[in-house]
Amino acid sequence: MPIIEQDNWRVSFERSASSGIRLRECDYMGVRVLHAAAVPFVHVQYQGGDIGPFTDELRSSSDDFEIRQIMFGFDICARYDLYGPDYQYDHIWRFHDDGQFGSAIIIYGPGEEILGRHTYYIPFRFDIDISGASGDSIQTRRPTGEWVDIEQESVSRPLVPWAADYDWRVIDKSTEKSARLRARTGDNAQVWTLRYNELESWSSWGGALRSPPGTPGSVPEIYQTGQSVQNTDLVIWYIAEISSVDRVTVCGPWFALDGYPTPPPRREDPKHPDHPHPHDPDHPDEPDHPHPDDPKHPEPKLHPDEPVHPEPKLHPDEPVHPEPKLHPDEPVHPEPKLHPDDQTPLTKLSMEYLGRKVEIEPMVMPGEGKAGEHGHMAGNEPLMYVVRVDGKEILAHPMGGGGFHTHELPFVRFKSVQALAETYVNYLEYGIYHGRKEKPE
């Protein structure tokens, strides 16, 4: 079982036969955070009922995975491509040195049709152990900001679906350690809080039913029995419901830790060139280290009536497609500039780009607050910006090493807010990030 020890984390993980990269025990600053976490499968529902539904197992044509060094942290990345390019998913487990962590699935599609008439239901399961095997409680945030207990097993949705707010937290009330949870905007997310039991745990290994996750007759609803979710062993199911209208999309939850030991100061070089090798030398590729009270789970079976996409085969005479060439007279979209010298605006900026109305507005000016949950270092500039394009809003966050990023356009660091706004307009207009791949080399 591979183990990564860096950026104040100790993360153990494994590859399941049907549910991809699964996390096992994860500690931050030497203190337990997770017992296990997984994305068991992807359920795809088509309109009209003539196709599917399908459950896509998260399987790969190879056992490869990637440990990728990022700003103040690392990613564990895998590609699930066994069913071919029409049913491909990328999976990222991300960890930052300040205690933030999360998971994301990138949906490439297009699946069985290209008119946006199907929906992806993606369950993320987290067996959180803030206090150990028991003693955790779930709370939700009221509009006024205070936290209140959720007494029984239940499902809830974000308070404001388009806001990047932390609406839930799992807390050990005896120590005040907690993990706050927020939904990604656009996920149409459900958050189910259940008390752990072995039957519920079975589904985390890929067990599926014919109904979409989060609906009656499917996981995790079939395990809800009205038990208390205070001072017990909790499991969080995060269900993302993603329309295929936007073609390539990203979904997944995000966590931030509070009350854990204070991490050491960061190094001055944000790129961390001297990271240790990601594999623990005391745990080379050797047999798994089982959890002492974690029974061996058998690989579950799919519902007997549920079709699974066959593994496609090439026709023996079918040529391999060469890299396509652009027509010599075909224009390539240049990367225009919204602002001639790319200076970060300190006041509201409005303009038009590609026929769309663009507004860039600082949210927090110097001296008005401190860096938010992301821990970005903004220097003497505003700490956050709202970028509005024809009424759609995204948040631009400054990064400690310079530049900006937004959760709506992952994997890209932008040198200015204007460059981020241009790319977002290009994405809305053409479905591309200035010609870059969704996942950079």
**Tens digit of each residue's pLDDT (9 = 90 or more) over 1-42:** 899 999 999 999 999 988 999 999 999 999 999 999 999 999
pLDDT recorded at residue 401: 67
Contacts of 193 (CB under 8 A, 6+ apart): 138, 150, 153, 154, 155, 168, 229, 234, 235, 236
Phi, psi of 86 (to 5 degrees): -75, -10
Q: What's the confidence (pLDDT) of residue 93? A: 98
Model confidence at 343: pLDDT above 60: no
Q: What is the mean pLDDT of residues 361-372?
A: 52
- Is residue 38 within 8 A of residue 88, CB to CB? The reply is no
Nearest by Cα to 106 from 147, 140, 75, 150: 75
- Quote the pLDDT of residue 332: 35
- Between 259 and 201, whose confidence is greater? 259
Task: Report the percentage of the chain scoring pLDDT > 70.
Answer: 74
Residue 409 has φ and ψ, to the nearest 5°, of -125, 80
Q: What is the pLDDT of residue 439?
A: 34
| 382/144: higher pLDDT | 144
- Residue 437: predicted pLDDT: 35
Residue 204, φ and ψ in degrees, nearest 5: -70, -15
Instruction: Among 7-11, 33-37, 96-100, 212-216, name the one with the lowest average pLDDT.
Output: 212-216
| β-strand partners of 254 | 102, 182
Task: Return d(Cα 333, Cα 430) in angstroms, integer.
Answer: 10
State the pLDDT at residue 71. 96
Distance, CA of 203 to CA of 77 (rounded, Å): 22
Strand pairing of 20-28 and 147-149? Answer: unpaired
Cα separation of 72 and 227, whole Å?
39
Higher pLDDT, 21 or 433: 21
Phi and psi, residue 424, nearest 5°? -65, -40
Do 99 and 130 touch, CB atoms closer than 8 A? no
Q: Does domain 3-258 have CATH number 3.40.1360.10?
A: no
> Given a cut of 50, is residue 335 above it in pLDDT?
no
Per-residue pLDDT, 260: 98
| 221, 215 contact by CB (below 8 A) | yes
| pLDDT higher at 2 or 325 | 2
For position 438, what pLDDT does the model report? 35
Q: What is the mean pLDDT of the chain?
A: 80
103-117, 130-144, 343-357, 373-387: the lowest-pLDDT one: 373-387
For residue 100, count other CB atoms closer than 10 A to its CB. Answer: 19
Using the predicted structure, report yes or no on whether residue 321 has a pLDDT greater than 70.
Answer: no
Distance, CA of 267 to CA of 68 (rounded, Å):
18
- Contacts with 415 (C-beta within 8 Å, 6 or more apart), sequence order: 342, 402, 403, 404
Cis? peptide before 264, omega within 30° of 0: no
Q: Hey, how many other C-beta atoms are within 10 angstroms of the C-beta on 48?
A: 9
Query: Which of 14, 18, 45, 74 is CA-nearest to residue 301?
Result: 18
- Whether the per-residue pLDDT at 165 is higher than 70: the answer is yes
**What was the pLDDT predicted at 210?**
80
Q: What is the pLDDT of residue 193?
A: 98
pLDDT at residue 345, as a whole number: 66
Amino acid 204: pLDDT: 78
Q: Which two tokens stand for residue 23?
A: 């996390």
> Mean per-residue pLDDT for 395-413?
78
Dist CA 284 CA 262 (whole Å): 29
Which residues face 93 on adjacent strands? 76, 103
Joined tokens for residue 25: 């025990």
Domain assignments of the chain as residue spans, ordered by start: 3-258, 322-441
What pLDDT does residue 232 have?
A: 96
Rounded Cα distance between 252 and 189, Å, is 9
Q: For Cα atoms 145, 150, 156, give the angle at the middle one, nearest 5 degrees.
A: 80
Residue 340: CB atoms within 10 A of its CB come to 7
Mean pLDDT calculated for residue range 92-112: 97
In the predicted structure, residue 298 carries a pLDDT above the cut 70 = no
Q: What is the pTM of this model?
A: 0.64
Residue 115 in this model has a pLDDT that exceeds 70 = yes
Mean pLDDT on 65-82: 97
The DSSP secondary-structure symbol of 419 reads H
Quote the pLDDT of residue 67: 97
Which helix (H) or strand (E) segment holds residue 386: the answer is strand 385-389
pLDDT-based confidence at residue 307 (cuts at 50, 70, 90) = low
151 C-beta neighbours (distance < 10 Å), count: 12
Q: What does the pLDDT read at residue 323?
A: 35
pLDDT for position 1: 87
The Cα 5–Cα 21 span in angstroms is 17
Nearest partner of 171 among 259, 249, 57, judged by Cα: 259
Of 93-97, 320-324, 372-376, highest mean pLDDT: 93-97
Give the β-pairing of 137-141 and 166-172: antiparallel
Name the strand (E) or helix (H) holding 417: helix 417-430
CB 63 within 8 Å of CB 55: no
Quick count: other Cβ atoms within 10 Å of Cβ 69?
A: 15
The predicted model gives 263-273 an average pLDDT of 69
In angstroms, the CA 59 to CA 205 distance is 12
